[in-house]
Amino acid sequence: MPDEDGYFGADVAAAYDESSADMFRPEAVHPAVDVLAELAGGGRALEFGVGTGRLALPLAARGVPVHGVDLSRAMLDRLRAKPGGDGVGVTVGDFATTRVDGVFALAYLVFNTINNLTTQDAQVDCFRNAARHLEPGGRFVIEVGVPALRLLPPGQSAVPFHISDTRWAFDTYDVVTQAMSSNYVTVVDGHATHRSIPFRYVWPAELDLMARLAGLRPCARWEGWSRAPFTAESTGHVSVWEKPAE
């Protein structure tokens, strides 16, 4: 069961950077920061689900004022303890509804974090919350995977995404409700522990409709931060919506 920090309590926060090490590599971070800094255009940036600051810290180091919202105090404590952490403003709260002061040129959600909102209503609220924070002409960016349902043969509901001698990880899907979960089995000294985190998967076209409901219009969709074209074979996407100028 989750604690007061949701599914990202002190034990998860302590190992988060190491367990997601590939996402902290420069080749993963720098292209994302390049795009976000360009979209911010010298204005303020708001990160929903800021976590331990994987992108917020290098973006702030580029001179972009960054404010982060996260439900997990443990993750935010990790962010604050890092070099430059005191330069990123933070607010504890649910990013679907939490308001912070001021307006922003950019709001963004990365690394599948939109899926942490486990109902369609909450995901719609997130778009509306982003739109409320954006200045006219501001952009909202989401990085998220395409649901891997094409990999499911009839009768199967799980797709593995990591297998090693000490760690197994797999996603499960409910194609009726769009509920999914990421499951992790870790073996230490011959003893296995299991952790499961619930999500709700969402389709690109569904995100576009959520954006429309929030008064945002499509601006760009790429396969990733390199801005390669999004195709039918893409396993993920970076999508950008714009708040129309008044």
Q: How is 195-211 classified by DSSP, letter by letter?
A: EEEEEE---HHHHHHHH
Indicate the average pLDDT of the chain. Answer: 94
Residue 157, amino acid: S
Supply φ then ψ for residue 42, to 5 degrees.
90, -5
**Cα–Cα distance measured from residue 244 to residue 141, given in angstroms and rounded to the nearest whole number:** 15
End-to-end Cα, the chain, rounded Å: 45
User: How would residue 4 be classed by pLDDT, with cut points 50, 70 and 90?
Assistant: low
CATH code 3.40.50.150 for 10-146+202-242: yes
Strand order from edge to edge, sheet including 89-92? 89-92, 66-70, 45-48, 104-109, 134-145, 236-242, 217-222
- What percent of the chain lies above the pLDDT cut of 70? 98
**Cα–Cα distance measured from residue 238 to residue 225, given in angstroms and rounded to the nearest whole number:** 7
User: How would residue 1 be classed by pLDDT, with cut points 50, 70 and 90?
Assistant: very low
Q: Domain boundaries in the chain? A: 10-146+202-242, 149-197
Whole-prediction pTM: 0.93
Distances (CA, A) of 156 to 87, 177, 182, 198: 47, 16, 15, 18
DSSP, collapsed to helix, strand or coil, labels residue 6 as: strand
DSSP labels, 107-144: EEE-TTGGGGS-SHHHHHHHHHHHHHHEEEEEEEEEEE
Whole-number pLDDT of residue 12: 81
The pLDDT tens digits of the residues spanning 159-172 come to 998 899 999 999 99
Whether pLDDT at 150 is above 80: yes
Whether pLDDT at 111 is above 80: yes
Whole-number pLDDT of residue 52: 97
Q: List the structure tokens of 129.
A: 């919350």
Whole-number pLDDT of residue 5: 66
Whole-number pLDDT of residue 230: 98
Residue 106, amino acid: L
The sign of the CA dihedral 9, 174, 112, 205 is negative
The pLDDT tens digits of the residues spanning 58-104 come to 999 999 999 999 999 999 999 999 999 999 999 999 999 999 999 99
